[in-house]
Every structure is written in C-alpha cells, then in structure tokens.
Structure 1
Amino acid sequence: MEKRRRRTSHPVDLILAGDLGGTKTHLALFRERKKELIPIREQLFPSQKYQNLEEIVLEFLAEERAPVGRACFGVAGPVIAGRGRITNLPWMVDAVALRGTFGIPSVRLLNDVEATAYGALALTGEDLFTLHPGDPDLWGNQALIAAGTGLGEALLIWDGVRYLPLASEGGHSDFAPRNGIEIELLEYLLGQFPTVSYERVLSGPGL
C-alpha cells in the first residue's frame, strides 16, 4: 500500500472519525468551524468484507483532496498503547501505522463504547428517553451499555468536577443467573459453549 507523505496538521484540515465494529465500520469527515464540527460526508462499510481498516480508509479517502489533519477511531475491543484488536474481527488497528500510511499528523484510538460515553456527555434532555424511572443522583457515577455485535460497556465516573469516561470489557464477565428460568438458560448455553458471558446472552449472537 502506497504511503501518503506525512505533514503537519493545520486548523483548516479535515477531521476523520470512525466507529469500527464487527458488523460495520462507519467513517465520517468533519471540518471544524468556530469550535463546532461541521459534517462533510459519511459512509458505512461492511467490516467483514475488508482485510483491515487501512483498506476501508484508503477507499473512503480515495477522491478526497483536502488534507486530513486529525483522526480518531472507536475500536470494538480493548485499546492498549495505541493498538486495538477488534473482538469479533481479525483486525489489529495501530495508531502509529495509520499515521505513517496516510500521513495524518494525529491519530488516536479508543474503545468504541468509551467514545460513545464521550458523545453521551453532549446529549440534552430532549435526546433521552426514560425506560425505567428511578431516583438518580445528579452527580453519581453512570454506566453505559451497548448491545450490538458484542456487548459493550463503559463507565462515566464523576471526579467532583466532570465526568470521566472509562472503557470496560464487562460484557465478557460470567453470566450470573438470578432465577430458575435464567439458570435453565445458563445450563443450555453451557452445553453449547465452554464459558458463558453476558455477551453470549445479550448481543447480536445472543439474541
């Protein structure tokens, strides 16, 4: 794959954002204007039809003439030291490799549900729908659960000043049944799999 020449970012450069999942990869380009992100274009790609993220980015940027100065990708799996392996795909995503391949000065990876948690902080009351009313603590910690191809979980921890999103792989914790029906479900699943996580029960494959 031909590498693009690395360059220094500029305030008018485009921003590339991506949500990388086991079923689909969603890429979008934005331009920053007065601290507001203006969407330029976006596209969905079936993840399993590509060997890696580089193939998708190359196709997405093929006809883009404006330079990309920054990129950030939410990865459906743990991210350690700028590298992330997607849980339900044979992809290894590397921020340093992406910078070198596409000449993007700044590339960051983070867990996909952690990225969703950052986005949740920008929501207003009009964006929310209450499923089960409770007695919330205005400044209490929060949990975010996202059932898709896998079961993603993240935390929003209140540090006394602001909420801090934290990634979690809680969907891979063992399923703990609470009643007779759930015990029967666990026994059935143990006949199919060596271990049964919550992701086996509540996700695309589980449902």
Structure 2
Amino acid sequence: MRVLAGDIGGTKTLLQIAECRAGRCRAVRTQRFDSGSHDSLSSIIREFLKGEKNKSLKAACFGIAGPIRETAKGQSVKVTNLPWEIHGRELKRRFKLSRLALINDFQAIGYGIEALGKRDLAVLHKGKAVKHGPRAVIGAGTGLGQGILVWNRDHYVPIATEGGHANFAPTNDMQIELMRYLLKTAGRTSWELVLSGHGLVRLYGFLKERGAAPESATVAQAMQTGDPAAAITRAALEQNDPLANQTLDLFVDIYGAQAGNLALTAGATGGVYIAGGIAPKIISRLSDGRFMQAFRNKGKMSPYVEAVPVQVVTRPEVGLVGAVMAATRFG
C-alpha cells in the first residue's frame, strides 16, 4: 500500500510517499518545503505530487501543529503559527484519496517514537521505566508541543494536548520577574512564550533589560541579519557570550522544570521524550546536569520523577515517520 504522509509545522513542511507492506514502510520520495513561502497546504501537496505517475495512493495522514477540530463536516485545523485553515474533506476530494486523516503534530511524533531505535535517542537520565507505563513527549521549536502516550493492547496510543499554552509557573525570584515581564510585554504568560524559538529571543530581551550582562554588538548584528534564536544559540555554544549564555541557561532551567511538570501530570512512568527542533541543537547544555536538576526539583515528588527515564529525540523526521505509521493504521 502506498501512502502520503506529512509533518506540517510553522517553519517547515515535510511530505513523503511511502510503500508499506506487512507493517513495514519504505520511503519512496521525501521533500522539504518552507511553510511560510506557501499560502496553503494544498499548494504544497500539488507541487509535491506534480508529475507523480503512480495514482495508487491509498491513504494519507498529516501531522499538523495545531488543535484538530472534529465536526459533522469532518476534520479541520487552524495551524497555530501559520495563517492556514486546513479541511480534511477538501484535501481528500481535491487529491482523490480514499482515506485521509488529520492529526496533531505531537500525535504524529507519538506514533513515530515507537519506530525509533537507540541511535535515534540521546539519554539524559536512564531512570527505570515501568513496562507499558504512560509516556510523555514535549518539544520546543517554532512553538511548544506536548503529548501523552497511553498503552492499549499492543501499542502506544498518542493523545494530543495544547499544554504548551498553559500558564507559565516561575520557580525562583528571577523567574517571578520574568512572569511580570511576560505580563507587561505579552499580556499573559504561557510555556510557549518562553520555550520556543521566539521564546528564546524573549528570554534574551528580558535578561538584557534586567542588565544581566552587556549585549555584544556582534550578537546584536547577527540577530538582526539572520534567525535571532539561532544567533543566540551560536553565541552561547560557540562564542561563550555572557548574555547569550545566561539566556540559554534560563531556557534550559525552564525546559527542565516543565518537562518534570509534564512527567507528573501524565504519570509518565514509561519515560519522557524531548522532541522538537531545538533540543538536538543544544544537546550539550541539556546533558550537563542543569536540565535534570530542574526536572527533579519537585519537592515530595522528587523521588517519583527521579525514576522517570528522559531521552532526547535526535531523529528530525520522527513526526513524518509517525504520520506514515498513522496513515497505515487509519487506512
């Protein structure tokens, strides 16, 4: 069976045609698109399928960064960080697909996690996983995604959440100042406002305003001429820039704390997986102990989270792998 799968985010869209037999899938063709350069998912699919001679696509599944709505008119989603409205029935009709499903991008990552091997994961904390225990996945990138995986008979079923938009909770005096800064500059607090690419830039601005360290003219210029979050990360990891270093430390502190919160909320005795585009790029900072210190700082529940395994997903196309798997199940 041939399936069409997609991983649709605010920054990039990955599409793939895969050949699946007896529960195993092989990628036939994969292509990356800049999401912001297109006005709709339909236009990207049209471009991807242009010249595709084989009309035997049986099913499609798209993992999309946004909450999926289920109504009498079918599935639809407003992409959180793009001006796109996607309707399942419309895509199904336009591209003459017999079956099509829209799922949240972290549902897709949840499906993909089951297909990962040891080389696709970096262990932050070994812990002691409970067999078939609930799992949790969290990932900072363009936004902040979170999901829960629950065992059902012979596989994990991923459940999407919008926990990234829940209110941020400070853990020390400086983070209380940050909370006030968010209220002043953004009008509210949320985890995504600090744990994302734009969140990293916001933390930099907060520390700069606070006078934590002088701003480097070189870093300021790099932020203006390129991706500001990437410029901050490079300045911290490669140039040992004081302000960028403090920014990344604060980011890791908050990331670890919220990953630990999610472990408690989900009862994630089966493990916590750190996905998203940012984690693999800052793996040296995530693995130096700071992240896990914040993760474990849960008072009476510290022994509980101490037992939870924590791993970083280093395979960037995990969401696409999951969308392929979901297409075969829904198909």
TM-score (norm 1): 0.88
Structure 1: stretches of 5+ with no match in the other structure:
1-10
Number of aligned residues = 195
Aligned with 1:165 (options 158, 167, 171): 158
Matched, 1:47 2:35: yes
Give the match for residue 77 of structure 1: 66
CA offsets per residue over residues 141-166 of structure 1, 9 Å max, x none?
Answer: 11100111000000012357542210
Give the match for residue 100 of structure 1: 93
Give the match for residue 5 of structure 2: 17
CA distance in 1 between counterparts of 2:24 and 2:95 reads 25
Aligned with 1:66 (options 54, 57, 61): 54
Q: 1:171 to 1:135 in 2, by over 3 A?
A: same
TM-score (norm 2): 0.56
1:38 CA displacement: 1.4
Give the match for residue 185 of structure 1: 178
Q: How does 1:74-153 map to 2 (within 5 A)?
A: 74-81=63-70, 82-153=75-146
1:74 CA displacement: 0.3
1:119 CA displacement: 0.8
Larger Rg: 2
CA distance in 1 between counterparts of 2:156 and 2:30 reads 29
Any idea what SS the aligned residue of 1:137 has?
coil
CA offsets per residue over residues 6-60 of structure 1, 9 Å max, x none?
Answer: xxxxx4xx31110010111111111123432111111111111111100000000
Give the match for residue 254 of structure 2: none
CA distance in 1 between counterparts of 2:19 and 2:114 reads 21
* Larger proportion of helix: 2
1:188 CA displacement: 1.6
Which sits farther off after the overlay, 61-70 or 169-178?
A: 61-70
* Larger proportion of strand: 1
Structure 2: stretches of 5+ with no match in the other structure:
201-331
Which sits farther off after the overlay, 188-197 or 158-167?
A: 158-167
Give the match for residue 3 of structure 1: none
1:124 CA displacement: 3.3
CA offsets per residue over residues 41-87 of structure 1, 9 Å max, x none?
Answer: 11111111111100000000011010122111001000122111110
Give the percent of matched residue pairs that are identical in Structure 1 and Structure 2.
43
In structure 2, what residue type is equivalent to 1:28? Answer: Q
CA distance in 2 between counterparts of 1:50 and 1:161 reads 39
Matched, 1:195 2:184: no
Give the match for residue 20 of structure 2: 32
Any idea what SS the aligned residue of 1:104 has?
coil
Any idea what SS the aligned residue of 1:183 has?
helix
Q: 1:106 to 1:159 in 2, by over 3 A?
A: closer
Give the match for residue 323 of structure 2: none
CA offsets per residue over residues 120-140 of structure 1, 9 Å max, x none?
Answer: 122234432211233432332
